[in-house]
Amino acid sequence: MKIGFDNDKYLRIQSEHIKERIAQFGDKLYLEFGGKLYDDYHASRVLPGFKPDSKLRMLMQLKDDAEIVIVISAEDIEKNKVRGDLGITYDKDVLRLRDVFTDRGLYVSSVVITHFNGQASAIAFRQRLERLGEVKVYYHYLIEGYPTNVSLIDSDEGFGKNDYVETTRPLVVVTAPGPGSGKMAVCLSQLYNENKRGLKAGYAKFETFPIWNIPLKHPVNVAYEAATADLNDVNMIDHFHLEAYGKMTVNYNRDIEIFPVLNAIFEGIYGESPYKSPTDMGVNMAGFCISDDDVCSEASRQEIIRRFYTAVCSMVEGKDNDQEVNKIKLLMQQMKLTTAYRRCTVAAKERKEESESHSAAIELADGTLITSQTSPLLGPSAALLLNATKHLAGIDHQLKLIPQNMIEPIQWMKTSMLHGNNPRLHTDEVLVALAVLSQHDENCRRALESLPLLDGCQVHATVMLSEVDRKIFKKLGCGLTTDPVRK
């Protein structure tokens, strides 16, 4: 995979910058973490070289000074809101995140249940957490007129009504399973309540995207708009920063729209605001760590097209997301992109026309295109893995890595014993077969060893793949797209 982002530099300067921000306020810094703290796959796709757990690894450099507060909305608990990329509910993800952080040696001190209004499911979740006995649990309540009713918010009937979250370390990282959980409100509530207790606490925001110090229409920033098309986020020039400092920086509409309110809340708490713009509040250093702009730009163009395919496939599956699809179409037009820009997409469609069957293609790191088609034994994605690994391992394409007499018993089990309708092998079944054969077959061993070379490669299939196949390509680090066509 071509590298466009210096991850080591990022870990170093990001932690240093956060330490500087802590020192700016003296007693304590509440750091709101936007986006995913642990598994930021979007960042790793558009900034090749960025590791999905980079932000977590950066925090580990500050672990002696940091504690983590996980925020979850009572409304999301009640609705059983599901995290789309993992397929688990937000309440289960709170437990998962706590375990991930704790296993890495980070201190998770508490969970805050926001938007609390007596929901029975939220009470049950609190009781469940308290039975585990490892974190403290607090309620934060709905405030009428939030966030514009500043006089009520900055009062004992507003933030003062919330439970005071007891913290002991100078850096308090506030994170959540997903957007809309109330992270910012928790931070601001704590500033109010710390100030009442005579402590000068500060607030900062760590949001990777949009990247504030690259151009507004840079492909990396446009890819963020595509990724948040369902939220209708829009990247904008931070006019507050431009007016205060005469410098162009990029932020997004929600932060710019809410900034006057935040300023008023800061003034209500401190008597004056420490910030002149939304950009001032941020601590993100990612833009300083782009080492190859061309690589990141190309990866971002691929991501925009990938988001388009994901959106149209979701529509075929019944999701009412016309607005999301149209937003990404508009972004593609602005970037002068079409699906034909994606070479593996063109190759897969050409193979389908030739074979008159569903096909797939992968573009390898050196630009080589490998294609496959559906056969009686293999689906197009499974066949593609075999074809690609044979090419990378220098194995004759005509050689059958998995003999037919091994595939047929697996097919019999799938259809006769497990009552499946599709006898063809999926990607996971092919990989397991290769692993078994690799014990005594040199070619199978070499094919398996070439799998890491698929990281960062682009894949397209002319048919929507099973969940199993999608997950395998994701684990291999491939950028997958499919036509919005059901099997």
- Same domain, yes or no: 405 and 277: no
Q: 35 near 205, Cβ under 8 Å?
A: no
- Same domain, yes or no: 200 and 348: no
Residue 236 lies in a domain: no
Residue 198 lies in a domain: yes
Q: Using CA atoms, how far apart are residues 418 and 398, in angstroms rounded to an integer?
A: 32
175: helix, strand or coil: strand
User: How high is the pLDDT of residue 487?
Assistant: 77
Spans in the chain with pLDDT lower than 50: none
Count Cα atoms within 13 angstroms, Cβ side, for 180.
9
Q: How many domains does the chain have?
A: 2
Question: Which of 243, 266, 289 corresponds to the end of one domain?
Answer: 289
Q: Using CA atoms, how far apart are residues 475 and 39, in angstroms rounded to an integer?
A: 12
Residue 228 lies in a domain: no
Helices (H), 317-441: 322-334, 343-355, 380-393, 404-412, 427-437
User: How high is the pLDDT of residue 414?
Assistant: 87
Q: 113 near 137, Cβ under 8 Å?
A: yes
- Same domain, yes or no: 160 and 61: yes
35: left (phi over 0), alpha (psi -120 to 50) or beta: left
Count Cα atoms within 13 angstroms, Cβ side, for 63.
14
Q: 30 near 189, Cβ under 8 Å?
A: no
CATH number for 278: 3.10.630.10
Kindly report whether the global pTM for this prediction surpasses the value 0.75.
yes
- Same domain, yes or no: 284 and 349: no
State yes or no: cis peptide before 403, omega within 30 of 0.
no
- Same domain, yes or no: 266 and 133: yes
User: How high is the pLDDT of residue 73?
Assistant: 96
**Over the stretch 237-285, which tens digit does the pLDDT of each residue have?**
999 999 999 999 999 998 998 899 889 988 988 888 999 999 999 999 9
- Same domain, yes or no: 391 and 278: no
Q: 25 near 202, Cβ under 8 Å?
A: yes
Question: Which of 243, 274, 289 corresponds to the end of one domain?
Answer: 289
- Same domain, yes or no: 263 and 400: no
State yes or no: cis peptide before 147, omega within 30 of 0.
yes
Q: 308 near 330, Cβ under 8 Å?
A: no
User: How high is the pLDDT of residue 179?
Assistant: 82
- Same domain, yes or no: 177 and 44: yes
User: How high is the pLDDT of residue 85?
Assistant: 67
Phi, psi of 234 (to 5 degrees): -130, 130
261: nearest Cα among 145, 125, 377: 145
Residue 301 lies in a domain: no
- Same domain, yes or no: 413 and 273: no
Residue 280 lies in a domain: yes
Residue 243 lies in a domain: no
Q: What is the largest CA-CA distance in the chain?
A: 78
- Same domain, yes or no: 268 and 347: no
Range of the domain at 279: 7-208+252-289
- Same domain, yes or no: 259 and 347: no
Residue 92 lies in a domain: yes
Strands (E), 1-146: 28-33, 66-73, 82-83, 88-89, 108-116, 136-141
CATH number for 374: 3.40.140.40
Question: Which of 243, 272, 289 corresponds to the end of one domain?
Answer: 289
- Same domain, yes or no: 284 and 366: no
